[in-house]
Structure 1
């Protein structure tokens, strides 16, 4: 497969992965461009691999991790005030999606990356470990912590209930 064929076939998928990782469309395009430039420089070697896409995906993830480590400050989404409407909101699904997106973006870098690779890219723990250069058990533990944090963000009573149990003893 030639490089331009690869980009035509997988380019948009890479941009979507970059978006889910970074939460920013422009940053996603930059990450994709950086990963593709890296792949282009080494394309003779990359195209001979069993799975060239795995190489480019890892380059994109590494670019995201590197950029996040370099950044000196992080933007945090503004929390919207709670609505005092007594009737159900017809846009409940949208707001729940938005709340989950905000919780995902607030996860620590490695946890967010593991969750995206697991549930967006549908990679198993062994593949995630290979992409991130970590042990498979670390990938599983990180996914477990991240899912617990997302559950707690979705239902604050989970955390409150845990604190209440702790205060009783």
Structure 2
């Protein structure tokens, strides 16, 4: 497994190699995730339980095991690699849309799954209110794109497991 060295002050390293099934894309790591060095590490975050519940992973993984998911065809990145905090706290100048697109074109995953409307809106260049959950219209020369409801505990009121189930079905991993 080959990770890119963290030479730019990134809070968490990308987990990206060519041929992944899906890359999960957040806005930026939470302060907790940055502090412990693991994706989706806040105890109130539903990410890891949801992956297992919908069948994307065969067992419940812990945040510190995130790098092991590369063996399941699962990768990770964020739109703002050098920031951490809640979505509304991230300085828009830290979003790296071009870097993100280059990495996705280099790695060519089957799907890109945004774990928040904010991350998707940064990439799409549209307000979050104009984005629907689920599979997005196909873009030429880019992997399939899904927008998932945020697993963050701070977004509980907007929680909807259906987009996650839709992704699991697309990946052929849905629990029956």
**TM-score where L is the length of structure 1:** 0.28
Larger Rg: 1
Q: Which has the higher contact order (CA 8 A, sep 6+)?
A: 2
Greater share of residues in strand: 2
**TM-score where L is the length of structure 2:** 0.27
